[in-house]
Structure 1
């Protein structure tokens, strides 16, 4: 009776042993990307895996000491510069305030392309120094890691995985060439909008033209900022016949920080694993003083505002108007802000250097989330069912908020033109128009209704790669094809040539028979 139970238990223990004690080398991206990578690292550690994190000497948030991982600090800079980021934000706001939307947008895009070029250049300089450090590379070889986990918004982790010959798992929404799907999955421009186009999957002819033009412009951006940096590096280290995107496309598993409550329906691939909201969790109790402030809001509830990890303060005139708008509401406001205290701040507003975002969004008294549009914040708002007022700043944030606006769960404002009255009007609309909260509750229900928690799904596939030394059976070989082969242009040309040849033979045969017939008639007449 007990033998089958003991046998089953032995199988389970043996299977666990195959995974426990795995060694993971992590090459992360700093900033907000580190926040979600840290969640995966902590979960890997809790499951008994040994995690080593590579960090540049100028890392912002990636600490050298942690109970969840060992770190290797590289004697190189990763290209992170908070001062440049603040400067870019101020410049972009000034440009937007000057009007001329098209030329403003073009000027901002050019600034972004220049910044992207410089960031990739600095990242690859760091990789050159790493690859030239024989002692470091030998130690990484000798460590016998089971896989490399990296964020492909920078290419360092991908390049390192191929140099070490290790299986590769990507924690991805963006690669060095844009949105992750575009690098690996078919992307028909007829119904898959390019990020930044602010289009849905239902496009008119004019919108499809716009989508196509933006696609060409994006291709130019990546040709300038990415290809000019990565192509010579990859040719030097991996051979002249290797295209740098092949190294990304050959990753075993793509852990996609997205799902189809946020993404428009589109083609995907078998090695893409969706883990949107993996960092979300039920709210924990708030600290006593914060809970007391929240409860003091009574039936009116609370508004939460934060602009993420990269932007700690806004220009003073904007904060004055935002504070004045908050002061006119009966709701209590919790605002993460490190800048100068606005003179218009009301008694209903609590300003903090840091706030427990997930726990506040999960509190039953939270009514609205005022946010900048980072993916992490969007997913936490969806998870907890909290409608949004958007103040997108840069990068993918306007596109993220467009998706929320299209689903009817957000009111979006242009930060450059925000003033007291229009901000107050937007807050009141989301607070008192029931459709915003109702639609967000539907979105939250769809997001939560899954057979497996997103973080557990991510862990399963990371451990799957450890157990099987990769996942080549899920990986398409299409990335090894040329553009001509991939789109079957050579096949179409061959078939067209065959058709033309048959047609030419047919015409020649008809001409030949017609001449023979004509000659016979001519002979008979003579």
Structure 2
């Protein structure tokens, strides 16, 4: 009996040691998010799960708890962090240090400078201080011996500081068009004449007035970026003074994965180490639950309209009641069925053709053969998912980059845009009917979906390829622009322009003086000749 127990214990020990050795040899990836990551958290965790399943990776995800955080069951190791104790008197954290997403503030201000004025950036610096000052967390991560970091770049310069302090090569993740702060600090030329900047709400083909607006916003963003990076650097200096400045870290990200492509956003000038991989989370639709499937099929030939305001913009208590009532009234006049992500408490008397749900399997519903139209806030994730499945979009942008996303869809003939501040039942009904009855919108959306299906590699496949490259080889210097030695005025050839101006002025001056000298000599000779003639 004793020998049998010893053999069992020996076998268990052997299996444990073998598993430990396998884990020790597996590639290790650290995912770092900003204070609030929204849907990016799910996207990058899904990517991490594929790396675990297909590449044998060990993936650790650091996420910060918010009032929108949900429990997960994942093969990725998820480390939940909070700001405890929370900053004194802050309205953005509860007593446990959980972040309160300012959804109502986003609805009121539309994001951008309104958020800055309301003090919504202050929690970012509290998060930065907490992340960089936690020596126990740093030592715990250092002992794991990661091979690379996947850093969500959205207001997450302190994540870059931590990754550099750990000595890790960095794959950056940009969940939107590659414009704004991250792009301004990188080698990518974000030209104000052709690329609407972040939160501008401008269309891709801008007139003179719009280009002037865009240029002014780019300059304002540059100023705000400098002020923001100065505060980040003050925190960095206290905890990791040997790590380079935040601006330099942004410019030295080894590779950036941009979650868009040139079917969902205007083509852009991107250096080789910035890869527009596309919709990482997109996939073919899976079977719906019996309840959803029965509702979808009950729509018959008329089909289904899907309504969702996404994750960050949707909160049962903050969506304006006027908006809900206008859409409910418009939906009641349609012969189509409607799946609407909205609390039943806000719509006590829903029309018979409207199904209210608290949660929506968005990819699967958009990919259903009965879906005809998507009513969306036009976050980049929702735009990509709609176009992946060939569904036109009625855009109701709420904040930040959603305005320019909507403008691009309308420019390409993939949807229509409504101003949420001027919604009326007739305008909403007219837009819905136009999108549902005109074949051109659906044909163009399905054309793009067919183009995407012809690509032999999915966006997730491309992202995994580049992550593997960075994990295996570290810095991919052959992809980097050779411009780190240039200052901004050298990058934009202002020094060359000044040299040309000096040369031009000098040449004109010399020619002018030579001509003047020749003219004076000619006059003297004429005077002398006249004098001789009189003699």
* 1:395 is the counterpart of 2:412: no
Q: Deviations over 1:415-472 (max 9, x none)?
A: 2332333222221111111111111112222333324211101000000001102212
Q: C-alpha separation between the residues in 1 aligned to 2:468 and 2:67?
A: 28
* 1:40 is the counterpart of 2:57: no
Q: Deviations over 1:343-402 (max 9, x none)?
A: 442111111111211111111111111111111111110010111112221121122111
Structural mapping, 1:212-231, within 5 Å:
212-224=215-227, 226-231=228-233
State whether residues 201 and 265 of structure 1, in contact with CA within 8 Å, keep that contact through their aligned partners in structure 2.
no
State whether residues 149 and 170 of structure 1, in contact with CA within 8 Å, keep that contact through their aligned partners in structure 2.
yes
Against the structure 1 CA distance between its residues 174 and 420, is the aligned structure 2 distance closer, same or farther, given a 3 Å change threshold?
closer
Partner of 2:366: 361
TM-score with structure 1 setting the length: 0.83
* 1:114 is the counterpart of 2:117: yes
Partner of 2:57: 49
Against the structure 1 CA distance between its residues 176 and 140, is the aligned structure 2 distance closer, same or farther, given a 3 Å change threshold?
farther
TM-score with structure 2 setting the length: 0.82
* 1:187 is the counterpart of 2:190: yes
Residue-pair matches, total = 492
State whether residues 173 and 257 of structure 1, in contact with CA within 8 Å, keep that contact through their aligned partners in structure 2.
yes
Could you tell me which of 100, 105, 111 is aligned with 1:88? Answer: 105
Question: Could you tell me how far 1:233 is from its partner in structure 2?
Answer: 3.3
Against the structure 1 CA distance between its residues 134 and 266, is the aligned structure 2 distance closer, same or farther, given a 3 Å change threshold?
closer
Greater shift, 479-488 or 453-462, is seen at 479-488
State whether residues 187 and 267 of structure 1, in contact with CA within 8 Å, keep that contact through their aligned partners in structure 2.
yes
Partner of 2:129: 128
* 1:208 is the counterpart of 2:225: no
Could you tell me which of 23, 31, 34 is aligned with 2:38? Answer: 31
Q: Deviations over 1:18-69 (max 9, x none)?
A: x981100110242122122222122112121001112235474264x64322
Q: C-alpha separation between the residues in 2 aligned to 1:387 and 1:39?
A: 26
Q: C-alpha separation between the residues in 2 aligned to 1:201 and 1:416?
A: 22
* 1:61 is the counterpart of 2:62: no
Against the structure 1 CA distance between its residues 339 and 247, is the aligned structure 2 distance closer, same or farther, given a 3 Å change threshold?
farther
Q: C-alpha separation between the residues in 2 aligned to 1:114 and 1:257?
A: 29
Q: C-alpha separation between the residues in 2 aligned to 1:322 and 1:518?
A: 87
Q: Deviations over 1:168-200 (max 9, x none)?
A: 001114599826544431122222222444444
Q: C-alpha separation between the residues in 1 aligned to 2:521 and 2:450?
A: 79
Question: Could you tell me how far 1:241 is from its partner in structure 2?
Answer: 11
Structural mapping, 1:339-418, within 5 Å:
340-418=345-423
Q: Which has the higher helix share?
A: 1
- Secondary structure of the residue aligned to 2:102 is helix
- Secondary structure of the residue aligned to 1:342 is coil
State whether residues 66 and 101 of structure 2, in contact with CA within 8 Å, keep that contact through their aligned partners in structure 1.
no
Listed as ranges, the gaps of 5+ residues in structure 2 are: 1-21, 87-91
State whether residues 182 and 250 of structure 2, in contact with CA within 8 Å, keep that contact through their aligned partners in structure 1.
no
State whether residues 27 and 156 of structure 1, in contact with CA within 8 Å, keep that contact through their aligned partners in structure 2.
no
Structural mapping, 1:414-453, within 5 Å:
414-453=419-458
CA RMSD of aligned residues (A): 3.4
Partner of 1:169: 171
